[in-house]
A and B are shown apart, each in its own frame.
Chain A
Amino acid sequence: MNPSEPLSPNDQNSAAETAAPQQSASHSRRALLFKLSLLLNGAVGAALAVPILGYLLGPALKKSPGADSWINLGPLGDFPEGETRLVNFRSPQTTPWDGQTGDIPCWVRRISGRQFQVFAINCAHLGCPVRWFAQSRLFLCPCHGGAYYEDGSRASGPPERGLFEYEHRIVAGSLLISAGKLPTLATRACNQKPLTQIQATSASAQSGDNSWPA
């Protein structure tokens, strides 16, 4: 801590600028070496990008056709005929630190006998959890008011399609569904024509099976 230190450290570089002509040859050599080093680093960078991008894009690139697997929802006796019930299952691919988020609910509708429909909890509009109202035979979404009939078809509101349905089968007296991925419009594309809202004709035409009771 010497107060007499010169304040600027760059005071003594005036003496060095004398031997200019000799330097120009070595300068061009060094400039070339610098360019080569840039190339080298570019190549190393490209090699480095492979594992980084591979790691980063891993979840999107994973080519696993078996992302969905068969999950047992319980014996058929758990599902009374003509009723729609909420059933929880553990997602087939979870990590130990997923906690409760690995438990996924779904709506199981037993139409009759071995005829079932299993709906995802997620509204086809923006994924909020739909609730079943047995008295009015409707699924209602709390977020933006999407409504679906008991067979999962769109009744009203912003959804452009019916509820997402899980594939199911009955094995040894138990109901199995094929589930795994969060159902979205990307994985379960709309196979119906989008319905226009606020149009009495299309709404009544679409509810063709809801004709007047005899």
Chain B
Amino acid sequence: MASLKRRGTDVYNWLERRLGLGTPALEAARHNVPASTSSWWYVFGSAATVILALQVVTGILLALVYSPTASNAWNSLEFLDQNVQLGWYLRAMHGWGSDFMIAIVLIHLAQVFLFGAYKFPRELTWIVGVFLLLLTLGMAFTGQVLRFDQDAYWGLGIGASIMSRVPIVGGPLVDLLLGGPIIAGPTLSRFFTLHVFLIPAILLALVGLHLLMVLRLGINEWPMPGRLVNKTTYTQEYHQLTEKTGIPFVPDAAWKDAVFAAVIVLAIMACAFFFGPFGPTGQPDPTIIQTAPRPDFAFLWIYAVLAYLPASLETPVLFVAPVLAIGGLLLLPLLSGEGEKHWSRRPVAVLMIVLIAVTLGVFTRLGTYTPWSPVMNAWSSDPIPVADLRDRTPLEREGALVLQNKQCRNCHSIGGAGGMRGPALDAIASRMTEDQMIRQVLQGGGNMPAYGNALNPSETTALVHFLLTLRGGNLQHAVDASRQMVLSSQQSPVPAASTTEGH
């Protein structure tokens, strides 16, 4: 036993004599950090690194089977899911790992921001971190493309359409993105190269740099209200703090990182096991148009924003907003590198985090049920509530048929079923008069197409008569105020002042 141990030491010494990596690595692991940093708030960066390792391993394993050609990528995923032992599980872990990665990276960013860790002397660590965030999102998008299904195909179409809006160089940019005239084989090869070679290489290099700077500059101390960062004194203060309260990072502080990393990996394994892999959805066949493409979870909020932007603002917002957002993130530590670190003295920082989180949350939520999209089969599948058909005249029932056949339900709901693009029609008669309905149906307006060419006069009459019965239970009919005034003024002339009331 003792000789075995000695033999092991000899091997280590032989290697160490030649590599010289062990001593500095041990020194780095055992370096002193302020005791306050041994906190559950300081575990997200290391967790992200562990997930990165998991993604690299699962990614390499998937690449053993995946076929990066447009004609076979989808089939090879089905093969992975159905025919390769545990192929589905590896796919699931890689997919869930990607979602966890984005979540942990965002939490890490918010924590670093709220703790003022980006301030002097850690500005460059933050800037490198911003690029790591962008690369992580790049991995998520290119990874979604490699799952070469319907969503990936039309997602590339959305990407190309966004690129095409770039002034002047839009056309060449689309060609570069697609690698050819259409979304096809060369496009997938490009994204494979990005996802497997280019982005990971940059990502790993920058993670190394990021970690190196954390070691070199020391982990950010727990902020105290009133303890301001000053460029002339900070380094000395930090060293004093480390000397006074220092504990070795390994093992005194690192056990929390290790526990959290284990929990996160276990969570990914559990999600992968219980919820399975993402997709693939339908085959990447553009001739199958019965599809409602949707991006992965991390990009749903962008998908939602694109639905709500007015046409005139879309192109400017698409290209100005990212520049401002990324520019703001990059400039933040340079513009506010000193001063207060503690969140309780930085209300604007806290408000910003809350505002951004709520905004992203709301748009992501909207993206999960896309109220702006017509429900393409509502007209043929959603029933009209029986109560709306009982005791109706033949003309009114005919109108209900027109409503159904002309696909009004795709955008308008009745009884909670149907599209949400337009207003629900349950109480439409309490809001619009007959004249207003006729005008709206025939001429459209307010984001509704004109149906003048799709309806003949008798259909219009029937439809409007049916709509007039929809009073949300028993609300009052909408009344045209001006018409009443005209009628009453015809009966008895009224003073001029009172005629303005209706407006």
Contacts and interface: CB of A to CB of B under 8 A. Distances in A.
Interface string A54-67: 00010111100001
B293 A140 contact: no
B374 interface: yes
Interface residues of B, number: 83
Q: How large is the interface on A (under 10, 10 to 19, 20 to 34, 35 or more residues)?
A: 35 or more
Interface string A111-145: 00000000001100111111101011110101111
Interface in B277-327: 283-287, 289-293, 303, 306-307, 309-312, 314
B452 A212 contact: yes
A182 B181 contact: yes
B112 interface: no
Contact of A204 (B71, B292, B310, B445): B445
B157 A135 contact: no
A144 B373 contact: yes
Interface string B181-199: 1111110000000000000
A23 interface: no
B450 A131 contact: no
Interface stretch (A31-39, A42-50, A76-84, A195-203): A195-203
A16 B184 CA distance: 64
Given A57-B176, A210-B450, A136 B286 contact: no
B397 interface: no
B138 interface: no
Nearest to B186: A95
- Majority SS at the chain A contact face: loop
A115 to B, nearest CB: 17
Contacts of B285: 100-101, 103
B378 to A, nearest CB: 11
Interface stretch (B42-50, B201-209, B245-253, B403-411): B403-411
Contact of B180 (A59, A144, A160): A59
From B181, B376, B448, B453, name the one whose CB has the most chain A CB atoms within 10 angstroms. Answer: B181
Interface in A153-193: 155-160, 180-182, 184-187
A59 B179 contact: yes
A106 to B, nearest CB: 10
A102 B174 contact: no
Contact of B452 (A96, A121, A135, A211): A211
A60 B158 contact: no
Contacts of B447: 156-157, 197-198, 203
Contacts of A212: 442, 452
Interface in B145-192: 153-154, 157-158, 160-166, 170-176, 178-186
Q: Can you list the 4 inter-chain pairs with the closest CB atoms, starting with the nearest?
A: A99-B71, A184-B164, A127-B157, A155-B449
14 contacts: A59-B176, A86-B287, A97-B185, A100-B70, A133-B410, A143-B293, A145-B373, A145-B411, A182-B157, A182-B174, A200-B445, A203-B446, A204-B450, A212-B452
Interface of A: 1, 3, 5, 7, 9, 57, 59-62, 67, 86, 88, 91, 93-105, 121-122, 125-131, 133, 135-138, 140, 142-145, 147, 149-150, 155-160, 180-182, 184-187, 194-201, 203-204, 207, 209-213
Given A135-B454, A185-B164, 6 more contacts: A57-B172, A98-B71, A104-B182, A136-B408, A142-B291, A207-B444
Interface of B: 10-11, 13-14, 17, 69-72, 153-154, 157-158, 160-166, 170-176, 178-186, 283-287, 289-293, 303, 306-307, 309-312, 314, 372-374, 376, 379, 405-408, 410-411, 421, 442-457, 460
